[in-house]
Chains A and B, each alone.
Chain A
Amino acid sequence: MMTAETETVQPATTGGRAFIEVTEVWTPDPDTGVLKLASGIYGPHDGFAAVSGTESFAKGEGLPGKAWADGRPVVLNGFRGTYFKRTEAAEAAGLTTAVAIPVFEASELRGVIVFLCADDRSRTGAIEIWEEDPGQTGLLRLADGYYGAAKHFEWVSHHTQFPRGQGLPGGVWAAGASMLMRDLGSSYRFIRAESAGQAGITTGLGLPVEVPGPETVVLTLLSARGTPIARRFELWDAVGGSGADARDVVLVDGLCESEGPLWGNPRRVAAWHGPIGQVAATGVPLARGSKSGEPVAGLPAGCIAVVAMPVFRGGRFAQVVAWYF
């Protein structure tokens, strides 16, 4: 049975508090079939971490179980009176919003990533779930999202639709691949630019979320200057093919607060090597960090935690997307 790696590292980035307070990964237990905590980054929320470590979710149970059963991401704003099972511990930690992203390889669940955020009038950013209009009109509409204090941007987003190929969500949809946009304000120029600019939102990470049904789902993490999602983003592409190295990955894009752009020198990681290689090999997401706040071996210099997520395309492993604190 897998042992959970729960760390209480503070997921703050250099010079600011993080938009996401807690990230956890729940994976199906091979013996019991229920979701158990595999890894997590809890920051200062020891109490919530302790409660989570004892928890498990059957399909349809609690937030991770619901994301599994629904076969699509779920956003929960406020926990009391809902199916969220850890309400008291979450409230005690000041956590008010949770987003659960199921990770499927074809129809098989590999894990559920849960982001938890604290309601804070000073923190802005966005976690968005875009889905194709049910009428399959070729437009993505906002299914749900969390924006912190960026209320106007939230309103604008709810009234925005993206055609295939346009903007970050439409671009991710069309490409079937993750994208890291630096110039979000500009690229969203007439779509959501003004509001994004006011909210200080600059960098956007978009990921295609493959679900068992025919739905198109795109997850976007939009990072604001003051309270960024992470201090470093990386996009790794699978080497692919049918050889023994098919699950090796190559760094194709990335951005780091301290190192700057990461795409200039191609880097390759073999399957199983380090956190990125492990996610590539297993197809299971990962959230790992150090308890002490000291740099962690295997992570880039200065980084103390990593969230890494596999991306599947047509049921095949295609990418690893990682962000670091």
Chain B
Amino acid sequence: MTQKLVVIGAGMASGRVLEHLFEEAPGAFEVTLFNAEPRGNYNRIMLSPVLSGEKTYEEIVTHDDAWYAEHGVACRFGEPVLGVDRARKVVVTEKGETPYDKLLIGTGSAPFIIPVPGKDLPGVITYRDLDDTNAMIEAAAQPGAQAVVIGGGLLGLEAAAGLRLRGMEVTVLHLMPHLMERQLDPAAGYLLRKELEDRGISIRCKANTHEIVGDGKVEAVRLDDGTEIPADIVVMAVGIRPDKRIAEAAGLASGRGIHVDDAMVTSDPDILAVGECVEHRGACYGLVAPLYDMARVAARTLAGDAAAYAGSVTSTKLKVTGVDLFSAGDFAEGEDREEIVLRDAARNVYKRLVIRDDRIIGVVMYGDTADGNWFFGQMKDGADISAMRETLIFGPAYAGGTPLDPMAAVAALPDDAEICGCNGVCKKQIVTAIDGGATTLEAVRGRTKASGSCGTCTGLVEQLLAVTLGDAFEMPAAKPVCACTDLTHEDVRRLIKARELKSMPAVMQECGWKTSCGCHVCRPALNYYLLADWPDEYADDPQSRFINERRHANIQKDGTFSVVPRMFGGITTPSELRAIADAAEKYAVPTVKVTGGQRIDLLGVKREDLPAIWADLTEAGMVSGHAYAKGLRTVKTCVGTDHCRFGTQDSTGLGIAIEKRMWGSWTPHKVKMAVSGCPRNCAEATCKDVGVICVDSGFEIGVAGAAGMDVKATELLAKSPDADETIEIICAFVQLYRENAKYLDRPYKWVAKVGLDWVRARVVDDLESRAALVARFDHSQRVFQKDPWAERADPGTRKAYRPIADLTLEAAE
């Protein structure tokens, strides 16, 4: 006997159910199909090519009038369902009631609208259906029209690319640090951003929309930081939510979506649900593959056959012509997993496999996704990859093969193989140069220019030297930053400047990092190099700092912290001392110590007390002493001409002036300074990173001293009759150190590498160079000379310093 099947929603999932149902149980159901949209089923995921003009709506229609007629489907399009009366088994619309034996709900999802002022202005469009698409096409018709897309996920980026192709000026606003963060890791997100920016699309990450501005229609989007971006349309593509309204109103069990069992049956045995509106085993899906899997099961259930949906493993591609990305599975970092990374900077290729227990659990690929489906298959099958691990990343063609000896691979390269892409140098040219007597990397570079630009082919050139010269070639022992790269610190610093790399993913991709996100060794170094070279563009990454810098306090062996307020030049006042004493008492600081750098150290402060003690000290007019920082620590002084019989200059005044100018600056390692008022050197300036000795004729500036593991006297950098010039020279020296030194090299180690003459030429002799260094230092200070205590004293920040667990209680129990 024919049963009545009513379907709510003519989307891709319910459409696929009908296709399967008509195949499996032809004639078993008399179908009525309701759709709020005034049209039947079309391939919704192909709306992006319709937007871009690469497809027409007619092409993406999956079921036309003829198909519905052929299968006897009563189409009720443009007739939204108002409710379901489960007791009487009828569906209610404005036109009346329609009885059902079985009901299939496929209401899909509704776009999420961020609740900001102006969200309802004309010109704010979501991106869900053909009407939205046509509205965007219409908007793109205005000459010079500008679009802002809020949301840098799949849908937002497809909209952005389509609108750009239509001729609009497009800005994408994304709240998260990188695009498509749910599908891509930062490295792939960087490449995607680069690609889209290359298409003329402006991308702003970490952009929080504050308000949509307009008088009667959209005119601009205002961000939290006050930036206003003009817009003729705003496309809201921040996410979707299962549309469960009808089901909920009908009393069906639901959570994030409509609850269904493995047979796609809801809490009512006569009602099934499929697609984006459902929640199955706690998961909601927004991609098409799971929807089709559900549809197959739902059709079998309706046909009376047993079938079970077990959930789906999904993969992602972006439908933007020329953008080649693939993502599947879990690619978060974790201690229980390892990764295999392959990068080709010249071709913008990035591949990463995440492996746990010898099985692939995540795949992220950009630029060359040819093997994506093969990896995906291995992942879904849970295949043991241990036997082919060495060559796995190269794909199925090499799976299980013997890893190539890199030397053999280089030897096998044809003569015309390009080694240096930057300068177009092939293998034969290099070998000819080597045969002609260029037996070192520098000599080859001098004759052929190979490896002379970006330097990423240095390893290849060295291997060619080794292959050609055999034992006669000694591989240079340059130490790479860490196991993530073959490049040295110096190489990386050079490339960051030369190629204007301004983010960590940019450095890792363009320099061919072997890991996806670096390690505890390279990340702090890169973080420093980037903030030193690009103070305006680079945003400091606290997660790439050591804990002391992250917490802005030195952690002690018992887990407490030390707090050291800055005392410029070692000078303090009675009121500051009272505030310090009060703080020490208030927070029960067990130890108060005077340091060798002429500061007062409060030792034993509990983590959760840090913001409060900082707030109290800030209130008393003090700032952080940065006693934990790779930055300027202290400028120690003697009392100089103010009080001392032997003082030749105002050493205290000079020390205070230096410290006030330079505090807050980040440097490759800590920097300690001192100013002594006479050669008796009470401030011990001759063993500091920078030490000034005042003499009758002015100031002797010494640098590169040490008094730690190594003890070394300073070397005279310059003499100056003038205090202001002395400060300028010191700023220039520190800036030169900031721009050139290897991370964690103290100045004395750096000067030993580059030579004091090299430093003096740039800091003392060349006045133009000195002025430029000082200007760059001062510019950097405009960004970084901020008191971290004041920034962290507010209640919001204090939360971060609360203990994670109440260890006292745990211990008591």
- Report whether A190 and B53 are in contact in the complex, using a CB–CB cutoff of 8 Å: no
- Say which residue of A167, A177, A241 sits within 8 Å of B165 (CB atoms): A167
A165-B200, A240-B370, A242-B394 are known contacts. Are A190 and B143 too (CB-CB below 8 A)?
Answer: yes
Does residue B479 face the partner (Cβ distance < 8 Å to A)? no
- Report whether B164 and A166 are in contact in the complex, using a CB–CB cutoff of 8 Å: yes
- Report whether A189 and B167 are in contact in the complex, using a CB–CB cutoff of 8 Å: yes
How far, in angstroms, from A184 to B397 measured CA to CA in the complex? 41
Residue of B nearest to A182 (CB): B56
- Report whether A166 and B54 are in contact in the complex, using a CB–CB cutoff of 8 Å: no
Does residue B368 face the partner (Cβ distance < 8 Å to A)? yes
Binds B, one of A41-49, A127-135, A145-153, A168-176: A168-176
Query: B174 CB to closest chain A CB, in angstroms?
Result: 18
Give the residues in chain A near B322, CB-CB below 8 Å.
174-177
- Report whether B165 and A165 are in contact in the complex, using a CB–CB cutoff of 8 Å: yes
Does residue A93 face the partner (Cβ distance < 8 Å to B)? no
Give the residues in chain B near A181, CB-CB below 8 Å.
53-54
- Report whether B166 and A242 are in contact in the complex, using a CB–CB cutoff of 8 Å: no
For B54, B59, B200, the residue with the greatest tally of chain A CB atoms inside 10 Å of its CB is B54
How far, in angstroms, from A325 to B323 measured CA to CA in the complex? 31
Does residue B660 face the partner (Cβ distance < 8 Å to A)? no
A164-B198, A174-B199, A176-B322 are known contacts. Are A187 and B59 too (CB-CB below 8 A)?
Answer: no
- Report whether A242 and B397 are in contact in the complex, using a CB–CB cutoff of 8 Å: yes
How far, in angstroms, from A260 to B398 measured CA to CA in the complex? 39
Residue of B nearest to A193 (CB): B141
- Say which residue of B59, B167, B321 sits within 8 Å of A182 (CB atoms): B59
- Report whether A241 and B397 are in contact in the complex, using a CB–CB cutoff of 8 Å: yes
Residue of A nearest to B57 (CB): A183
Does residue A213 face the partner (Cβ distance < 8 Å to B)? no
Does residue B386 face the partner (Cβ distance < 8 Å to A)? no
- Report whether A241 and B164 are in contact in the complex, using a CB–CB cutoff of 8 Å: no
- Report whether A243 and B397 are in contact in the complex, using a CB–CB cutoff of 8 Å: yes
Size bracket, chain B contacts: 20 to 34
- Report whether A177 and B200 are in contact in the complex, using a CB–CB cutoff of 8 Å: no
Give the residues in chain A near B323, CB-CB below 8 Å.
175
- Report whether A190 and B167 are in contact in the complex, using a CB–CB cutoff of 8 Å: yes
Residue of B nearest to A255 (CB): B59
Number of inter-chain CB pairs below 8 Å: 95
Query: A71 CB to closest chain B CB, in angstroms?
Result: 16
Q: Mark B57-85, 1 if CB is under 8 A from A, else 0.
A: 00100000000000000000000000000
- Report whether B199 and A165 are in contact in the complex, using a CB–CB cutoff of 8 Å: yes
| 346-385 of chain B: CB within 8 A of chain A | 347, 368, 370-371
Query: B434 CB to closest chain A CB, in angstroms?
Result: 25
Query: B400 CB to closest chain A CB, in angstroms?
Result: 13
| 103-123 of chain A: CB within 8 A of chain B | none
Query: A152 CB to closest chain B CB, in angstroms?
Result: 19
Residue of A nearest to B165 (CB): A171
Does residue A199 face the partner (Cβ distance < 8 Å to B)? no
- Report whether B53 and A183 are in contact in the complex, using a CB–CB cutoff of 8 Å: yes
How far, in angstroms, from A251 to B161 measured CA to CA in the complex? 22
For A138, A177, A188, A242, the residue with the greatest tally of chain B CB atoms inside 10 Å of its CB is A242
How far, in angstroms, from A185 to B371 measured CA to CA in the complex? 37
Give the residues in chain B near A263, CB-CB below 8 Å.
55, 59
How far, in angstroms, from A244 to B395 measured CA to CA in the complex? 12
Does residue B137 face the partner (Cβ distance < 8 Å to A)? yes
Give the residues in chain A near B347, CB-CB below 8 Å.
314
- Say which residue of B50, B53, B198, B371 sits within 8 Å of A174 (CB atoms): B198
- Report whether A242 and B200 are in contact in the complex, using a CB–CB cutoff of 8 Å: no
| 186-225 of chain A: CB within 8 A of chain B | 186-191
Give the residues in chain B near A314, CB-CB below 8 Å.
347
Does residue B396 face the partner (Cβ distance < 8 Å to A)? yes
Q: How many residues of A contact B (CB 8 A)?
A: 36
Does residue B627 face the partner (Cβ distance < 8 Å to A)? no
Does residue B140 face the partner (Cβ distance < 8 Å to A)? yes
How far, in angstroms, from A163 to B395 measured CA to CA in the complex? 37
Does residue B52 face the partner (Cβ distance < 8 Å to A)? yes
Residue of A nearest to B421 (CB): A314
Does residue B201 face the partner (Cβ distance < 8 Å to A)? yes
Does residue A154 face the partner (Cβ distance < 8 Å to B)? no
Residue of B nearest to A241 (CB): B370
A165-B165, A189-B167 are known contacts. Are A241 and B371 too (CB-CB below 8 A)?
Answer: yes
Does residue B556 face the partner (Cβ distance < 8 Å to A)? no
- Report whether B395 and A243 are in contact in the complex, using a CB–CB cutoff of 8 Å: yes
Give the residues in chain A near B432, CB-CB below 8 Å.
none
A242-B395, A261-B59 are known contacts. Are A167 and B167 too (CB-CB below 8 A)?
Answer: yes
- Report whether A187 and B52 are in contact in the complex, using a CB–CB cutoff of 8 Å: yes
| 145-178 of chain B: CB within 8 A of chain A | 161, 164-167
A177-B321, A190-B167, A191-B167 are known contacts. Are A165 and B201 too (CB-CB below 8 A)?
Answer: yes
A166-B167, A314-B347 are known contacts. Are A240 and B368 too (CB-CB below 8 A)?
Answer: yes
Query: A123 CB to closest chain B CB, in angstroms?
Result: 24
A164-B198, A240-B370 are known contacts. Are A179 and B167 too (CB-CB below 8 A)?
Answer: no
Give the residues in chain B near A188, CB-CB below 8 Å.
167
Give the residues in chain A near B198, CB-CB below 8 Å.
164-165, 174
Does residue B142 face the partner (Cβ distance < 8 Å to A)? yes
Does residue A239 face the partner (Cβ distance < 8 Å to B)? yes
Residue of B nearest to A252 (CB): B321
- Report whether B54 and A179 are in contact in the complex, using a CB–CB cutoff of 8 Å: yes
Does residue A230 face the partner (Cβ distance < 8 Å to B)? no
How far, in angstroms, from A167 to B200 measured CA to CA in the complex? 12
Does residue A229 face the partner (Cβ distance < 8 Å to B)? no
Give the residues in chain B near A175, CB-CB below 8 Å.
320-323
Does residue A253 face the partner (Cβ distance < 8 Å to B)? yes
Does residue A37 face the partner (Cβ distance < 8 Å to B)? no
How far, in angstroms, from A244 to B201 measured CA to CA in the complex? 37
How far, in angstroms, from A176 to B322 measured CA to CA in the complex? 6
How far, in angstroms, from A186 to B394 measured CA to CA in the complex? 43
- Report whether A182 and B370 are in contact in the complex, using a CB–CB cutoff of 8 Å: no
Give the residues in chain B near A279, CB-CB below 8 Å.
none
- Report whether A241 and B395 are in contact in the complex, using a CB–CB cutoff of 8 Å: yes
Residue of B nearest to A190 (CB): B143
How far, in angstroms, from A306 to B198 measured CA to CA in the complex? 34
Give the residues in chain A near B167, CB-CB below 8 Å.
166-167, 187-191
Query: A243 CB to closest chain B CB, in angstroms?
Result: 3
Q: Mark A252-268, 1 if CB is under 8 A from B, else 0.
A: 01000000110100000
Does residue A180 face the partner (Cβ distance < 8 Å to B)? yes
Give the residues in chain A near B371, CB-CB below 8 Å.
241
Query: B404 CB to closest chain A CB, in angstroms?
Result: 12
Query: B373 CB to closest chain A CB, in angstroms?
Result: 10
For B141, B143, B165, B371, the residue with the greatest tally of chain A CB atoms inside 10 Å of its CB is B165
How far, in angstroms, from A189 to B138 measured CA to CA in the complex? 9
How far, in angstroms, from A186 to B133 measured CA to CA in the complex? 13
Give the residues in chain A near B55, CB-CB below 8 Å.
182, 261, 263
How far, in angstroms, from A61 to B370 measured CA to CA in the complex? 41
- Report whether B141 and A189 are in contact in the complex, using a CB–CB cutoff of 8 Å: yes
- Report whether A260 and B59 are in contact in the complex, using a CB–CB cutoff of 8 Å: yes
Residue of B nearest to A171 (CB): B165
Query: A195 CB to closest chain B CB, in angstroms?
Result: 15
Query: A63 CB to closest chain B CB, in angstroms?
Result: 30
Query: B323 CB to closest chain A CB, in angstroms?
Result: 8
Give the residues in chain A near B56, CB-CB below 8 Å.
182-183
Give the residues in chain A near B52, CB-CB below 8 Å.
171, 187
How far, in angstroms, from A239 to B368 measured CA to CA in the complex? 10
B contact residues vs A (CB 8 Å cutoff)? 50, 52-56, 59, 137, 140-143, 161, 164-167, 198-201, 320-323, 347, 368, 370-371, 394-398
A-B contact pairs, 19 of them (CB 8 A): A163-B200, A164-B198, A165-B199, A166-B200, A175-B320, A182-B53, A182-B56, A183-B53, A183-B54, A186-B53, A187-B166, A189-B166, A189-B167, A190-B142, A240-B370, A241-B368, A241-B395, A241-B397, A242-B398
Given contacts A167-B165, A186-B166, A241-B396, 15 further A-B contacts (CB under 8 A): A165-B198, A166-B164, A171-B165, A171-B321, A175-B323, A177-B322, A182-B59, A186-B53, A187-B53, A189-B140, A243-B395, A244-B397, A246-B370, A263-B55, A314-B347
A-B pairs, top 8 by smallest CB distance, nearest first, are: A175-B322, A165-B199, A243-B397, A187-B53, A241-B370, A240-B370, A183-B53, A261-B59
